Chains A and B, each alone.
Chain A
Amino acid sequence: MIANEGAQEMRPRSELSARELFREVGAVLRMSEAEASALGDLPEDPEDDQTMVINMGPQHPSTHGVLRLMLELQGETVLRCKPIIGYLHTGMEKTAEQLTFMQGGTNVTRMDYLSPLNNELVFSLATEKLLGIDGDIPERAVWMRMLLSELNRMSSHLLFMATNGMDLGAVSMMIYGWREREEVLRFFQKVTGLRMNHNFIRPGGLAADLPAGWRDDVLRLLAMLPDRFEEYDVLMTGQPIWRERLQGVGVITPTEALALGATGPILRSTGVEWDLRRDMPYLHYDEVEFDVVVGTYGDAFDRYAIRLNEIRESMRIVRQILDRMPSGDYRIQDKKVTPPPRARIDESMEALIHHFKIFTEGFRVPEGEVYVGIESPRGEIGCYIASDGSPTPYRMHMRAPSFVNIQCLPHMMRGGLVADAVAVISSVDPVLGEVDR
């Protein structure tokens, strides 16, 4: 059966108002309304009409999940493009209203499944701000959160290297990218017990301390990766075919990126230096040294190069974290949010009751609402929580970077070739689990 989304689909030009066409041709900022309406004057007689609408996805392998695009083509040129989403919608924001703040991490970690720790981090930071304990998190917990967050940025960008290579025909790159990512995931598995969907960063701190030998594992990772990046440079960065395929493709200007709310590598590729880690520091990012990588042309090659170099910057941050990792507690010793240690439960009735209460009822969070935004590998991930004083969020909303960034697709694709459409989708690096939530 052909998927039919009714009004959500791209409609023929003859049915569109000038204003809607204006948006669909991706020219909100560049064209006057008169110019946009002139675009609608393509021949409507089917005999003369040289345009056709083709459907791409939702099962197309290069759409990174279940993204569906409707493309209006004239020959091989893309005239209009409309992303249609929702095929992976599972109502996670509604689910969050049923789960306590303690359980919420299991839900948010499944949204952007390539950077689960960043999702948990932003949820925990928002909850801690509501509880008023955001200043009391132990030092070790803060540095551990930074370590995991940066390693997660590396694993996410390594996967981008793999999928970007695969989408553009560099199939060996796919294997290399997955291979390196697996090394990072192996470390995550050792620390959290799981490769993905960790639920490790929790309100109040973390679920457990770092395991013995963690430092050697990280050092091994840091020693291994630079050589591999040399290989990437030989295989891709310097290759004429690779550059031809990406340079000048999917260009977006700073004004457009800002107006569309794009963040992360897309915004930085246009030359706007905006990284929440540096510009609105959270955790201890103001105490480590790193560079914000920016591009110049706003094309797909810039976005590739930014991500490759962001892995290098993350490695630089990880090295500094290794030097500065303090000893101490990995979670706050606040009886309100932290369950008592296992040993205490055997000897104290109060500890048992307390443990039971926290895991059945959850802890109560004061009334109020709060928005916290952090830099995920894909851009600003924000968590908005409204609390009514009960142990579950009254409303939890995630500002998903992919959901907003995907709006750039029509702008980037307009006037390009249909063969470049895949390169453009790939360079935006959307995670559909986060787009649809």
Chain B
Amino acid sequence: MSAEVTTDGTEMSEDEVTLLHGCPLVDSRGQQVLFVSRDRYLEVLRLLTDEGFAMCVDLTAVDYSRFMTRELPDGVTAERFEVVVNLLDISARRRLRIRVQVPENDPSVPSLFDLHPGTEAMEREVFDMFGIAFSDHPDPSRILMPEDWIGHPLRKDYETGSIPVQFKGAPS
């Protein structure tokens, strides 16, 4: 967040920005959010696991193609997709949210499977719903939609209504 200069000349920053493992850490409504670049995703997650964030509670994604003007800290370029990971540290009772920018032309992220086996189903769901590939995932298949389904439903350009009904095994 860039510091804003108010009318009376004092500097006022909207959100406190600190760095954790070289990534901007933002306090958003009392919740800790860490913006990690895709290249350093695995590395930072590994460091965080060693620091006590041993449990990956949730992994999901957002398609921001209709809301590219969202607020991001300095140095983070807005991309179409965002993968959001919620980590939990049970012993210290704290949460941390990771947001990773994923470009439209190469929607892929390294898989967290080796670090947190519990992300297996969640990553399959994100692949199914958003078409974001997770490299090194042991079972990169769809999970909720039929295997031969065309399209990724939670993408913003997947319109609701007047979707041709896809019957399995029907001649196309």
Contacts and interface: CB of A to CB of B under 8 A. Distances in A.
A89 B138 contact: no
Contacts of A277: none
Contacts of B93: 279-280
A23 B57 contact: no
Nearest to A274: B90
A371 B97 contact: yes
A364 to B, nearest CB: 14
B55 interface: yes
B65 to A, nearest CB: 11
B145 A86 contact: yes
Contacts of A419: none
A236 interface: no
A262 B118 contact: yes
Interface in A103-143: 129-130, 132
Interface stretch (B2-10, B17-25, B146-154): B146-154
Nearest to B146: A5
A404 B118 CA distance: 7
Which 6 interchain pairs have the tightest Cβ spacing? Answer: A261-B118, A6-B147, A7-B141, A86-B144, A399-B58, A260-B118
A94 B117 contact: no
Given A280-B93, A280-B95, A373-B57, 16 more contacts: A6-B148, A23-B113, A86-B144, A94-B153, A258-B55, A258-B90, A369-B28, A382-B57, A384-B60, A384-B86, A386-B62, A388-B66, A388-B67, A397-B58, A399-B60, A404-B121
B contact face: mostly helix, strand, loop, or mixed = loop
Interface residues of A, number: 54
B144 A259 contact: no
A368 B153 contact: no
28 contacts: A7-B141, A7-B147, A8-B143, A20-B139, A23-B138, A29-B117, A85-B143, A93-B154, A94-B160, A258-B54, A259-B117, A261-B55, A261-B116, A274-B90, A279-B93, A368-B28, A369-B28, A370-B28, A371-B95, A386-B62, A386-B67, A388-B66, A395-B62, A399-B57, A404-B118, A407-B120, A407-B121, A436-B144
A403 interface: yes
Nearest to B97: A371
Contact of A259 (B116, B138, B147, B169): B116
B142 A8 contact: yes
B15 to A, nearest CB: 11
B48 interface: no
A211 interface: no
Given A94-B160, A259-B116, A86 B143 contact: yes
Contact of A382 (B55, B86, B129): B86
A215 interface: no
Interface string A244-258: 000000000000001
A406 B144 CA distance: 14
